[in-house]
Structure 1
Amino acid sequence: MKILKNLLITLLALIFFAVAALVILYFIKNKETKEITHEFRKNTGGSYEALNMGQTHYELDGQDTGKVVILINGFSVPYYIWDGTFEYLVDHGFRVLRYDLYGRGFSDRPDVLYNKKLYLDQIKEMIEHLHLQKPVSLVGVSFGGTLATDFTCDYPEMVNKVVLIDPGYTRPKPKLPQFIPEIKETLTADDRANSQMDDFIYPELHPDWVKQYLPQMEYKGFRRSLISTNYNYRYNGRESNTILNSKHKPVLLIWGKEDKTVPFTYSDSIRSVLKTQFLPVDDAAHLPHLEKPEIVNPAIVTFLKK
């Protein structure tokens, strides 16, 4: 009996020290130590618009009379993901908006469920608050393609054309309790930042990509926004693209053939239910508009002007 008692005490002591060590490591590894303030925003580029769920960081440029194009970035990278494409569209006469999703970049990180309604409301409110001429065209990359698809399905009267670049295809709900990825994201934050390089087939050509990504990780709410999205934004690519097809919108589908993030084979699944123009891009991975801008950007302009 005494032996069992000693074993129990030892086990409890080990558990206590393990939990204590984990808590200490959590606070050491936690990058989110800052708040996004009004004073901080004075020193950032771009503009800010107060929406129902908080401030949205954005850039709007181009002729007032130009056709409106909204660029929607992916799951975690801010609007700099559109560098090059944004300027190219402006130079070709379009009125172009790019913005940071809630929780990303320098937009607010509201403590709410990051679900479809939150993201679609953000797009809708930006169109209304900035008095953008409707219908608009949507260009979405990765998760931004998911948002462009869902927004067009819900608000077809507000959309003219859709461009999907390596769009997200499926988002099943994780099975683990939500506190587990919270701990993991904290302890392996550097891994998330470094993994952004996996979106390129030639990462060495984008040496500052991780450096650009890191600043947003210092502000409270970034990690929560990603985890909440994973748990609360349900998406079935086949179902949503079938609905999009019923809206009879012109769609251009662009896909890097070497994409490992959202495999190229999903393009066949989408085209089996959605009528599209299709541009497969050789020698490019998840971000073909950055790796092959000389192919992708002119194709987007041609499609939007047609």
Structure 2
Amino acid sequence: MIWFGLLMLAGLAIAAPFLREAMKPAMTDHLRKDAPGDFVTLSRGKTHYRWLGATRGPVAVCVHGLTTPCFVWHGIAAGLGKLGYRVLVYDLYGRGYSDRPDGPQDSAFFITQLEELLEDQGIAGDFTLVGYSMGGAIATAFAALHPEQLRALVLIAPAGLGHDLGRLAERVAQGGPLAQWLMLSGFPRSFRKGCEAERHLPSSVPGIVDLQQAQLRYRGFVPAVARSISGMVSEDLTEEHADIAKTRLPVLAIWAREDTIIPLRSMARLAEINRSARQEVIEGAGHGLTYTHSEEVLRAMRDLMRD
């Protein structure tokens, strides 16, 4: 009987993270009814998007990162709007108000979402693509495939040339059932702790810590992050950067001096691969520079965006 009881407890411990995930509310039209912006049904599900900034002018398309949906761009979008840009932001699958489809979340998965959204919005070319963190990796992969569509590529603390997401992410990147269990059981607490560490910092996105943590309430968010860690985030984009370097596409990379997630050594790697890429470092900034140091990021972008 003792062994049976121990086995039952062990089974419950193993099942608990999966049960908690299954009990979370799914992202449905009911939850979307008060969402800002609009929705479009693409091949893998609904995608939430917003147009911000100016009502006329050149287009900038912004791709967010691993865990923070498109609200991360609000400060940057306001600044780009003052420069005369129409700014398209959207939620990657698995985040924000977008659907949570199953399957791998690699470069092909995210490029297809972006391609279909651009087609739906009638954006055929001559736009600036801006990517932050994992969004920088997505933007890089897209630019390597479609350099002729872009007027410029802006990468803010981009993944794809090395990262340090911690020991949990290293195990999750290997995939498999154990990785899923570790992610569901360990990531929420780690994510909350990381968000809380930024609560005292200034932000161009009001209440961003609470907005970030709210993502944990909904079914599919944590599994999506896990799939992206083993997919998009783990891809080495050296070849893609090399392909971009062969084109005449202007590239600006912006890094954060105190970034512990995307190490500054990636800056040196990019310089070796693409010598024509312009690079800037934001002093005193960590990985959240898009919202903690929006003005500095915009200042670094200004010359390129005015060309």
Same fold, TM exceeding 0.5?
Answer: yes
CA drift at 1:223: 1.8
Match of 2:114 in 1: 123
Counterpart CA distance in 1 for 2:147 and 2:244 is 9
CA drift at 1:124: 1.0
**1:143 aligned to which of 134, 139, 144:** 134
CA drift at 1:13: 5.3
- TM-score, length-normalised on structure 1? 0.87
After superposition, where does 1:104-183 map in structure 2 within 5 Å?
104-132=95-123, 134-168=125-159, 169-170=161-162, 176-183=174-181
Counterpart CA distance in 1 for 2:22 and 2:277 is 42
Q: What stretches of structure 2 of length at least 5 have no aligned partner?
A: 164-169
Match of 2:300 in 1: 299
Secondary structure at the aligned position of 1:236 is classed as coil
Counterpart CA distance in 1 for 2:133 and 2:299 is 20
Question: Deviations along 1:87-135, whole A, 9 cap, x unmatched?
Answer: 1111221111011100011101112321211100111111110112522
Counterpart CA distance in 2 for 1:25 and 1:62 is 41
CA drift at 1:84: 0.8
Could you say if the C-alpha distance between residues 246 and 12 of structure 1 is closer, same or farther in structure 2, counting changes exceeding 3 Å? farther
Counterpart CA distance in 1 for 2:173 and 2:236 is 17
Which shows bigger deviation, 59-68 or 90-99? 59-68
Question: Deviations along 1:62-93, whole A, 9 cap, x unmatched?
Answer: 44541110111011110111121011111221
CA drift at 1:190: 2.8
CA drift at 1:271: 1.0
Match of 2:69 in 1: 78
RMSD of aligned Cα (Å): 2.5
CA drift at 1:176: 4.4
Q: What stretches of structure 1 of length at least 5 have no aligned partner?
A: 1-8
Secondary structure at the aligned position of 2:80 is classed as helix
Could you say if the C-alpha distance between residues 11 and 240 of structure 1 is closer, same or farther in structure 2, counting changes exceeding 3 Å? farther
- Check whether the contact 1:257–1:285 (CA below 8 A) recurs between aligned residues: yes
CA drift at 1:40: 2.1
Match of 1:205 in 2: 202
Counterpart CA distance in 1 for 2:54 and 2:294 is 22
Secondary structure at the aligned position of 2:225 is classed as helix
Counterpart CA distance in 2 for 1:236 and 1:117 is 14
Question: How many matched pairs?
Answer: 295
Question: Deviations along 1:204-231, whole A, 9 cap, x unmatched?
Answer: 4359333111222222221221122222
Match of 2:287 in 1: 286
Could you say if the C-alpha distance between residues 25 and 283 of structure 1 is closer, same or farther in structure 2, counting changes exceeding 3 Å? closer
- Check whether the contact 1:182–1:227 (CA below 8 A) recurs between aligned residues: yes
Secondary structure at the aligned position of 2:89 is classed as strand
Secondary structure at the aligned position of 2:153 is classed as strand
Could you say if the C-alpha distance between residues 92 and 262 of structure 1 is closer, same or farther in structure 2, counting changes exceeding 3 Å? same
Question: Deviations along 1:274-293, whole A, 9 cap, x unmatched?
Answer: 12111111111113232322
Match of 1:235 in 2: 235
Query: What is the percent sequence identity of the aligned residues?
Result: 25
**2:10 aligned to which of 18, 24, 27:** 18
CA drift at 1:294: 2.5
After superposition, where does 1:254-273 map in structure 2 within 5 Å?
254-273=254-273
Which shows bigger deviation, 63-72 or 250-259? 63-72
Q: In structure 2, give the amino acid aligned to 1:282.
A: E
Q: Greater Rg, structure 1 or structure 2?
A: 1
